[in-house]
Structure 1
């Protein structure tokens, strides 16, 4: 039996200004139960009390406390300790032994039962919080997983099966959710589902070559690992034939995140091609971003590309050089028989100078509209 004292908010309960302690135990049938003693403001000069039970546990393990190690930062030493990992609040509880004080910590890395949990900063939803992931497959492309729990109501089947616990006032159950991520090189981990469609979207650079290798069924993690190995092999071949920046995961992911088709231009059937030049210096910083093609003033295509390149992260200094990036904004109206409108204008070689020409980056726009006539914009050289 494990007893901990925490604020109720840590259990996602909606009791204002309440304080609680909860006990995680296992009954004679091997079922985990979390019992919460909730104390809060009651009548004048009094304190209210309520006892609630949930099926399962908010923690990773049972018993809750497990031997482990922590590293406050990746380069730091491993510190032996006891850990309790709360999967509801994503908090790591730390103590040296049964007699020492309990602290909530945020290490870069910790281990429980030889399983390593690595902190990831996740700002994809505009919220700065920390997720801990474990590595299922390690290599140039990694497969990561994250396990969380949340409180939920009992479904009808669970309610029937739980009739023998009626006297415990069971009000919910801790449900476990497992999510998977693909991380290419130094790029940000990307969420996937265990489906063929999801993998082809993530591995878009090699989607055509991989399509026949991925089964049309619910995939297992072993299936995903086989696909990752095939993708990494294909990327080795691809990098050997072109300049490596074309296939740098962080560079490609940044372009996908930052170059957006202007909605106003797309809604008017406007498409076009933009050529932008930039340098990467000896520190990996992107500098001297410039428009090389005519300015499509008023449509936002060129401005969007320049703005995106200005915000590129620091890259590997090994990519030092002078580049030109062609960006094709393509337009498709599903009501037309003409198919996708691809820009035909191209920048003359003499205007590129001695720059390294990267593979064209394509930004598609798809609509279903009547009476919209597509038109390519190019402009005039200054």
Structure 2
């Protein structure tokens, strides 16, 4: 299947439905080519990708994990990971935007009622996007939540303020994580435009500039009981949701690393000057530069290989996995996350050393690779991935079950 056969419906029309894994990969390459053209300009100007995001969700790629019994392609996690990596290599902000959406689709499958599954999977297949209202600022840690959902008269009300709300500004639905009266985490699905719901575009990060990962405020927002999902069930028992959430993060970083290496190679070949003591005419023939490019290529290929192996571990999980099953998958993903993090940061830094002084000019905007890598890899600290793997290998300790493992 070639990209020329892919026709993407306009915004407002029903989204295209991906048929299978091959269709998903071909579509990812198609939209990545569209996104790559102005990715640097969007970053420089912090131009939010409204049009590009419509193309992305209308392409059907945001629905590729919807179960087959509900009309989706139910692609493998190897395919899902590769789709995110391909798009992130073109524009990592766009690569990150479906991250929480895809995690929520998985939670719906794991914890939704039959009616919730029918309702929200149909929304996803139609091209609707989920944002997120998960994390909060000023708390002890990411699991210390102040947002509450409480009974109020005949209905339920949500109150709280969220931050790092990637995708919420562009979303049709914003699932907000709140504690119920029993201190359990639930997701309240709130439709855009609901009274009391406010999305603030106040993300000022130096990287991932166009993710609009700012503030969501819920001020006494009314939500119906049938739009509240018992998300705690995705972690009360062993499920794939933690490894799935993490492998999407790793795929984004792998895409950033690959883009930085591609730009380094292009610049060294076409623009860089040979060093005066190298004895060669072309920078691309400098033996020390060749050695460093080889080192980067090996590191990135190793990261991509572990990423694929980790995705295979998630695919191998049984329908009802044990704690040991999920632990193995979490460890495999953590190993990949270490290498994708370090490869992305190293590639973003080495670009300037190898390409030379010309590469720092603003017209190239190559610093975006390092800025994006440094910003996105802060999502969860890689030093704790080393700890997770080491504690498992040395002491047999299974990782805690949550979205960061």
Shorter-chain-normalised TM-score: which range? Answer: under 0.3
Higher helix share: 2
Larger radius of gyration: 1
Q: Which has the higher strand share?
A: 1
